[in-house]
Amino acid sequence: MQIPIETITLPNGLRVVLSEDHATPIVAVNLWYHVGSANERAGRTGFAHLFEHMLFQGSAQVGANEHFELIQRAGGTLNGSTWLDRTNYYETLPSHQLALALWLEADRMARLLPAMTQEKLDTQRDVVKNERRWSVDNQPYGTWWERLPALCFPPEHPFHHSLIGSMEDLTEASLEDVAAFFRTYYTPDNAVLTIAGDFDPTEARQLVERHFGAIPRGTGRPALPDMSLPPTFGGRRRQVVEDAVVAPRVFLAFRIPPAGDQAWYAAYLLSAVLGSGEACRLETALVREQAIATSANAYTYDLTKGSDLLVVDVTARPGTDPTALEVAVEREIDRMIVEGVGEMERRRALALLETAWVTELQSAGSRADALSKFATYHDDPTLLNAELARYATVSADEATAFARRYLIAENRATLLFVPQATEVAA
């Protein structure tokens, strides 16, 4: 399945991706800025995400929260999200409202700072602290997504520190930080703008040039430090965490080549054979046959810089001995190495992927986000149309060879959550 893709680059460096589809009168606007928590300076963990909140607090021509109100009045939906190395902003709306979305995105890219005030920063700081309490501190296992990267990446590595940030660092964030971050990273030459859905390409190009054309290019973002790491952890890592939970849960992470590398597609296939769908190895062995787990999944983090992670994530039944869980999970990994990937397993994984792929691309917002992703990470949005075929190029033997190289004991990092007051061997 191919979708139409057209790319333009404005003189100021803004890359624009257009993908027409007139099936329904809906258009999606999606902006990726190539900045995330990896770009934060020391002592400012969580700032990239706090900054994302500030982008909804108005700009020169837009009042506080008016961005939300105007899009919702237009009958649209919107949001933003922050990841380790990118931040995205997106809206989907009735197609005759395309100009409004572009005007709003351009006004905050060009003229955010006049609208920034101490009061808005203080409010959003508190909102984000509540987000942290809600999603991390008051949530069973909630700290896993800051503990796992901390365990897997060395302390000075840009992916090591917390994305949501520490309460202390959030408290320290200032308006000067907002201004500096904006000037450094929120520039047209550090962004990709994608429009997908029901629009007229000539009109869309004119609108983009009118609203974004005059925004000056940035002075160049500071390069991230060298993010390359040895191909494997080179030893076992293990952390045990007591938490307010009723059942043990283990995350077993492996260092793998970065997403986009040919070898990474073998890692994806392995993760699907192990933990995607219900007939996968982990679910069959741990949930069905041994009945010690309630859920068993495996996935890749999809990091494109330096290295990526393959993560096995298994939650035990309450009352399960945490060590027994750990042993059972590792036994399945060892079995994977010994037995290798079978052709039927490969076909099952690819068949599920193909259906999920087409299903996902039904949504204009998903198409736009995928195009922004390929343009940001690989500088070529047309890779989207070749992507599904790349997964299919991986043979069962290649996936087996990958398992034998990367799923080894010396490349395993274990994060084990246990109910409070549980004795576990360190």
Partner 1 sequence: MSASLTGSLTGSLAGSLAGVPPRPQPGTPRPYHFPAVHRHTVPNGVKVLVVPMPRLPIVTAMVYVDAGANADPAGEEGLALLTASSLTEGIAGCEGTQLVERFEQLGTVASVWADWEGSYARLTVLKEKLAPALELLAEVLRAPTFPRREVERLRDQRLAGLEQQLAEPRGLADERFDAFLYAPSMRYARPVGGTPQTVPRLTRDGVAAFHARHYGPATTTLVLVGDLTPEAGVQLASTAFGGWAHAAVRGPAVHDTPATIARRVVLVEKPDAPQSELRVGHVGVPRLHPDYLAIVVMNGLLGGFFSSRINLNLREKHAFTYGASSSFDWRRAAGPFTVGTAVKTEVTGRALEEILKEIDAMRAAPPSASELALAADYLAGVFPLRFESTAAVAGTVAMAESLGVPENFYSTYRERVRALTADEVHAAARTHLHPDQLLVLAVGDTATVAPMLDEMGLGPVTRVAAEFDPTEAS
Q: Tell me which residues in 241-260 interact with partner 1 (CB under 8 A).
A: 244-247
Residue holding tokens 């929120």? 186
Residue holding tokens 């990474």? 264
Binding residue count for partner 1, defined by CB under 8 A: 88
Q: Which of 39/57 has CB closer to partner 1?
A: 57
Q: Is 275 a residue that touches partner 1 (CB under 8 A)? A: no
Q: Which of 16/115 has CB closer to partner 1?
A: 115
Query: What 3 state SS string does 280-326 have?
Result: CHHHHHHHHHCCCEEEEEEEECCCCCCCEEEEEEEEECCCCCHHHHH
Q: At CA 87, angle to CA 42 and CA 384, rounded to 5? A: 135
Q: Which of 29/152 has CB closer to partner 1?
A: 29
Residue holding tokens 């952390």? 239
Q: Tell me which residues in 69-98 interact with partner 1 (CB under 8 A).
A: 69, 72-77, 92-98
What is the total residue count of the chain? Answer: 426
Q: What would the two tokens of residue 258 be?
A: 């970065």
Q: Tell me which residues in 337-356 interact with partner 1 (CB under 8 A).
A: 344, 347-348, 351-352, 354-355
CB of 172 to partner 1, least distance (A): 17
Q: Tell me which residues in 117-136 interact with partner 1 (CB under 8 A).
A: 122-131, 133-135
Strand order in the sheet with 6-9: 6-9, 15-20, 191-197, 26-33, 87-94, 77-82
Q: Which of 138/393 has CB closer to partner 1?
A: 138
As beta bridge partners, residue 19 has 196
Q: Tell me which residues in 217-236 interact with partner 1 (CB under 8 A).
A: none
Of 179, 180, 214, 324, the residue at the interface with partner 1 (CB under 8 A) is 214
Q: Which of 21/326 has CB closer to partner 1?
A: 21
DSSP letter at 134 equals I
Q: At CA 121, angle to CA 115 and CA 127, rounded to 5? A: 125
> In the stretch 159-198, what mask flags binding to partner 1 with x, by CB under 8 A?
---------------------------------------x
Q: Tell me which residues in 357-376 interact with partner 1 (CB under 8 A).
A: 358-359, 361-364
Give the strand pairing for 26-33 and 87-94: antiparallel
CB of 418 to partner 1, least distance (A): 14
Q: Is 152 a residue that touches partner 1 (CB under 8 A)? A: no
Q: Which of 126/242 has CB closer to partner 1?
A: 126
H helices of 192-282, in order, are 201-212, 262-275, 281-282
Q: Which of 304/366 has CB closer to partner 1?
A: 366
